[in-house]
Amino acid sequence: MIKEEDLLTLINIAHLARKYEFFPLSERMFQHFSAAFPLRGFPHIGLALIHFQLGHYSRSCVELEKAMELGEKSKDAYFIYGMCLFHCGKYEKSADALSCAMEMDKKDGGGGIIESSLAVLKRPEVLPFFKQHPMYL
């Protein structure tokens, strides 16, 4: 079995490949991770980020849903999921995911997700579904 520190190095390489737009290489690495670690969500997060960068929002949603089913429920995952849903025209679900990301960000002391989420949540398409908390008015 691979050591956790070696796995982290490989994951970082896959993310670097994505960052520098070597999408096929990055995608293949995350697909291998998915096969090798079927009960972990991180490969699906990696695949979702690739598809998000490529503008394949519905595919990114599918990968994020798989990751969340496997326990990956971070504020970043909810934020990207909300953004993908927005681009797919699923505004009510987008509002829910972005609101969840904001609540998680608030609990963590804030890391910029609140401001980015509000920029989308206040758009006319999404605003009717946003249950505004008094602190965001």
Instruction: Give me the residue spans of the domains in the chain.
Output: 1-72, 73-130
pTM of structure: 0.91
Distance CA 97, CA 3 (A): 34
Using the 8-state DSSP alphabet, how is residue 84 labeled?
H
Both tokens of 68, joined, read 């969340």
42-99, pLDDT tens digit by residue? 999 999 999 999 999 999 999 999 999 999 999 999 999 999 999 999 999 999 999 9
CATH of 1-72, one of 1.10.760.10, 1.25.40.10, 3.60.15.10, 1.10.230.10: 1.25.40.10
Q: What is the mean pLDDT of the chain?
A: 93
Tell me how many degrees the CA angle 93-115-8 measures, rounded to the nearest 5.
80
Both tokens of 84, joined, read 């993908």
Q: Which residue has the tokens 């609101």?
A: 99
Tell me how many degrees the CA angle 131-135-137 measures, rounded to the nearest 5.
65
Residues 6+ apart with CB under 8 A from 29: 10, 13, 14, 17, 46
